[in-house]
Amino acid sequence: MPPPPSSSAVEDPIKGYKLFKPFGLNEDVTLQNRMVLSPMTRARNDATSHEPGEMQLEYYTQRAGAGLLVTEGVFVSAQGFGWYGAPAMYTEAHREAWRPIVDAVHAKGAKMFLQLWHVGRHGHPSFNAKRDVVGPSAIAAVSGFTHDVNANRVHREMCRALETDEIPGIIADYCQAARLAREAGFDGVDIHGANGYLLDTFLQSVSNKRTDQYGGSLENRARILLELVEALQNEWPANRIGLRLSPNGMYGDTGSADNYEMFCYVAKQLSTVGLAYLALLDGPGFGTHDKGRLVTLLDAKVNFKGPVMANVGYTRDMAEGVLRSGVADLVGFGRPFISNPDLPERFANDWPLSEPANFNTYYGTRMPGAHGYDYTLFTPYKLNKELTLKNRIVLSPLTRARCDPVTHEAGNMQLDYYGQRAGAGLIITEAVAISEQGFGWYGAPCMYTEAHRDSWRPVVDAVHAKGAKIFIQLWHIGRQGHPSFNGDVVGPSAVAVVSGHTRDSSAQPAPYEMCRELKTDEIPGIIADFCKSARLAKEAGFDGVDIHAANGYLPDTFLQSVSNTRTDKYGGSIANRSRFLLELVEGLQNEWPADRIGLRLSPNGTYGDTGSADNYEMCCYVAEKLSAYGLAYLATLDGFGFGFQDKGALTKPFDVKKHFKGTVVAANSYTRDTGEGVLRSGAADLVSFGRPYMSNPDLVERFINDWPLNPPAGYETWFGTRMPGPSGYIDFPAFSPSDSADAVVES
């Protein structure tokens, strides 16, 4: 029986957010948190001198609660200038204008990078004396409009293709701006290689038709960017240089069929340089192109070994989700910072945000229009060739202990409970004991007789009638059982659980007792019990089975060195300790195809006296072995629910995704937006929700419509051993306007 949630991570999960933790950007620069003020053109600088002034001093100082501030785009030369009211950095006067701003930001504890910008073909000839608008090729951006030197809205004009011998001069302009930034006291520079500006148009095949060494192949089109990075290192060490790319965007007539390949190439080339960070605009701030494969943060992290910054369209919880995934280290926030200068403080204290700024206020030139953001969480997902889930939300397996305590059969309450929650794409049942020996929880269900099978049939049919899929979770309680249930408590070794308590067959609290070590020749029989249960589940109409190899139950205790001290082929090395689980997976394939078998691990947890020093290595090993089978999914509990073990490295969804090539399910204490964040990261494909589903049977509909959630279910209602019957189980209401006064918003 798990204890009531008492860790700070559960009582106030926001205070445990990675988002608010310091981050060492390099050996010299530590950020006070992982929030970044994204570079946003606001067009309020002096329109003649292009110098920042009192407004910019106030603007950046107000927002210095972020760990890192990246300035709005700052032009590196007169030729590169092309936005009314934007700032520049190519004269000593520009340098001196920025100095008090940098000092004020530093006084608040934040760090500040200057974004280096050449507008390229987006410019207008009225801005410079030479009336010179340049690009890699003479290809105009025809969509939308630009502004002229008087802030009038005008059409973009044809640009001139740069001569090959002009390119070193442009690189020199960037270097001069970088040197002036260093003299002004900035902590580093950010290369604007995104959004259809000069550097991005060299990368993009739609805008670069050159036939010299700067056009054609990926290597040639990336040449100017790589030469620029190399040259900038004469002004700044590499770990003070960041880069911003937008391979998924379409702003400024971008979006090339080979953008994915280009991004991966550039990321790999820069990975050895040791840059401060690589920022990926992974969200559709101004639309997403459809000409080729889109880039995820997972792609960035796999190809670039330094800090990765997520950017565009993140909420607080989405950001936390992507940080928890392990594929991003920092998150940039733009629009929320516009109307919330104290955004970090609001996020940390769960204070409401101000109304979003009207788009007409974004720019001093009052440009209109922007696109929104659609949640991946609500899109269908093809689990395998036969099963398509209607959304990416999974009902987590939750022991609720309301089944018949004598027959261990599912009944009318379970019919209602699962039917109410069938808005999820996939339902995983509460843990279901696979044998009499494997049973050990008062009020839990079983699946080892035909009567058990038949009791589940109407539940499965009801779920299917609502368009959801349902897997049964196969469970052997192992050493956490009590001898009053069957006289036989077993484990891989005679090592008892000492923390907490269990319950006996009369539902009374009782201490854990010493378990018996399984004999080697008993193990095939236990695997046979799992297989029989899986066969009965198939006959009951389930869509698949989920192996419960988490939370200190039997398969997990074989994996864990703290509970497995065997000396036979099932103990000792990681390969031996995982043998039981892998043999079980192979055995189950005699009953179900591999793509109907899921598996659940908890490498970070402490529940049931788990938490081994080599759990990270074990999880990676098991994930890699399981990858070859083609399982339906691998679900990992990241530890938020009942605390984290501190004996070894923690496992993140990214670690799982690196080793397991199939569907990854993120699980444990996700909100709608942290769930969306981990999906956007690319490290997970589905997200499992448990506690929010207890009191919100219509959770999916609430998430979609941004309706508030019911208050969380009290711990006393979680298990029928404490509160038997329907109360706190099937009596939570679906949303109605009259409920909203007492509800809480969790996004």
Say yes or no to pLDDT of 699 above 60: yes
CA dist 722 and 83 (Å) reads 66
Rounded Cα–Cα distance for residues 666 and 664 (Å): 7
Q: Which residues are catalytic?
A: 197
pLDDT at 726: 93
pLDDT digits (tens, 9 = 90+) for 155-180: 778 889 999 999 999 999 999 999 99
Question: Is 717:727 a contact under the CB 8 Å cutoff?
Answer: yes
For the chain, how far is it from start to end, CA to CA, in angstroms?
A: 29
Question: Rounded CA gap, 650 and 648, in Å?
Answer: 6
Instruction: Supply the CATH classification number for the domain 394-651.
Output: 3.20.20.70
**Amino acid identity for residue 98 in this structure:** W
* HSE, side-chain direction, 13 A CA sphere, residue 217: 5
**pLDDT tens digit sequence for 446-494:** 999 999 999 999 999 999 999 999 999 999 999 999 999 989 999 999 9
Distance (Å, whole) CA 563 – CA 558: 7
d(CA 458, CA 447): 15
Cα-based distances in Å from 262 to 120, 223, 259, 630? 20, 11, 5, 30
Task: From 329, 332, 278, select the one nearest 303 (Cα to Cα).
Answer: 278
Give the start-to-end residue ranges of the domains of the chain: 25-350, 394-651, 690-747
The SS3 assignment for 238 reads helix
Between the alpha carbon of residue 695 and those of residues 361, 711, 723, 724, 744, the distances in Å are 41, 7, 15, 16, 12
As a whole number of angstroms, the distance between CA 191 and CA 174 comes to: 9
> pLDDT-based confidence at 709, cuts 50/70/90?
very high
- Label residue 594 exposed, middle or buried (CB < 10 Å: 0-12, 13-18, 19+): middle
Judge whether 19 and 33 are in contact, CB under 8 Å: yes
Let me know: does 497 contact 480? Beta carbons within 8 Å. yes
Cβ atoms of residues 242 and 270 within 8 Å? no
CB 2 within 8 A of CB 499: no
User: What is the DSSP annotation of 684-741?
Assistant: -SEEEE-HHHHH-TTHHHHHHHTPPBPPPPPGGGTSTTTS-SSTTTT-PPPP-GGGGG
Q: How many residues does the chain have?
A: 747
User: Taking the model in full, what pTM does it have?
Assistant: 0.84
Strands (DSSP E) found in 513-663: 516-517, 544-549, 597-601, 633-637
Contact 105, 64 (CB under 8 A): yes
- Averaged pLDDT score across all residues of the chain: 91
**In whole angstroms, what separates CA 169 from the centre of its chain?**
41
What does the alpha-carbon distance between residue 42 and residue 70 come to, in Å, rounded to a whole number?
Answer: 13
**pLDDT value of position 370:** 27
Tokens of 206: 């739609």
Does 394-651 match 25-350 at the fold level?
Answer: yes
Task: Kindly give, in sequence order, each residue whose CB lies less than 8 Å from that of residue 558, ignoring residues fewer than 6 positions away.
Answer: 492, 564, 570, 577, 578, 579, 580, 581
Q: Which of the four pLDDT bands, split at 50, 70 and 90, describes residue 150? A: confident
Q: What is the CATH number of domain 25-350?
A: 3.20.20.70
Q: Which two tokens stand for residue 453?
A: 């099978």
Percent of the chain with pLDDT over 70: 93
Taking the C-alpha atoms of residue 698 and residue 692, their distance in angstroms, rounded to an integer, is 10
Q: What is the pLDDT of residue 255?
A: 80
Q: Which DSSP state fits 28?
A: S
* In the predicted structure, residue 740 carries a pLDDT above the cut 70: no
98: its two tokens: 């920025």
Quote the distance between the C-alpha of residue 258 and its chain's center.
25
Residue 208 has pLDDT above 90, yes or no: yes
Count CB atoms within 10 A of the CB of residue 671: 23
Q: Are 9 and 16 in contact (CB under 8 A)?
A: yes
At 364, the pLDDT band (50, 70, 90 cuts) reads low
Position 59 scores a pLDDT of 94
The SS3 assignment for 241 reads strand
Q: What is the pLDDT of residue 6?
A: 42
Question: In a 10 Å sphere around its CB, with 0-12 CB exposed, 13-18 middle and 19+ buried, how is residue 574 labelled?
Answer: middle
- CA dist 239 and 306 (Å) reads 9
Dihedral pair phi/psi, residue 621, rounded to 5°: -65, -50
> Distance between CA 163 and CA 169 in Å, rounded?
11
